[in-house]
Amino acid sequence: MSLPQNHRKLRHDELLQQRRSLEGIHAETRHPVSLLLYNIRSLYNVGSLFRTGDAGFITKLYLCGYTPYPPRKEIEKTALGAVDTVPWEYSPDAKLLIPRLRAEGLNVMALEMTTESRSVYSLKRKDYPLCLVLGNEITGVDDDVLELCSGAVDIPMYGVKHSLNVGVAGGIALFEAVRAWKMLES
């Protein structure tokens, strides 16, 4: 392998040229992937998921149950401005919201290891528009919420432990859903 000459990070002005403008984004077609945060406890996980949702250009972020929602300074600190760039809605009762989203045509799937789950790496065109439900940091997605979903996807766990931080798991699943969508579209 040859070492690139003058290999350097992109400067801030070069990054700015590549990115979408705040003014333009609300008119653009977003990826057909949404996230539903159900009883997430940590303000930092919520902020991180806003930031990841912006990077993935998702359709919407739903905040449910006792999941904290903006304005909260700890969320904004971690979201680094993404609370203004990701469409979001607070909806206290996931048991009302999920049937509503499914009636609107969304495929609502839990990100959870369940008796029915399949790999997140198996997404097909019919799985979109997709809404992934992320559950509480310790207890995951409750079974009574799981029953309202159309199914579940999981991230293959290859190690000794069997979990990921919810912000990391959300990022892996979201970017895989976007990758698969773009591949199916091309």
Question: Which residues are near a copy of itself by CB under 8 A?
Answer: 1, 3-4, 6-10, 15, 18-22, 25, 31, 48, 51-57, 78, 80-82, 85-86, 107, 112-116, 121, 140-141, 143, 146-152, 155, 157-165, 167-169, 171-172, 175-176, 178-179
Cβ(42)–Cβ(14) below 8 Å = no
Tell me how far apart the alpha carbons of residues 40 and 54 are, in angstroms, rounded to a whole number: 19
CB of 31 to a copy of itself, least distance (A): 7
- For a copy of itself, which is the closer residue by CB, 3 or 125? 3
Q: Which tokens hold the place of 159? A: 């190690």
Q: Which tokens hold the place of 89? A: 């809605």
Map residue 94 onto helix, strand or coil.
helix
**Bridge partner list, 163:** none
H or E element: which one contains 90? strand 88-91
CB of 116 to a copy of itself, least distance (A): 4
CB of 115 to a copy of itself, least distance (A): 6
- For a copy of itself, which is the closer residue by CB, 63 or 98? 98
CB of 51 to a copy of itself, least distance (A): 6
**Alpha carbon 139 to its chain's center:** 18
- For a copy of itself, which is the closer residue by CB, 20 or 73? 20
H or E element: which one contains 167? helix 166-185
Tell me how far apart the alpha carbons of residues 147 and 111 are, in angstroms, rounded to a whole number: 13
CB of 89 to a copy of itself, least distance (A): 18
- For a copy of itself, which is the closer residue by CB, 64 or 141? 141
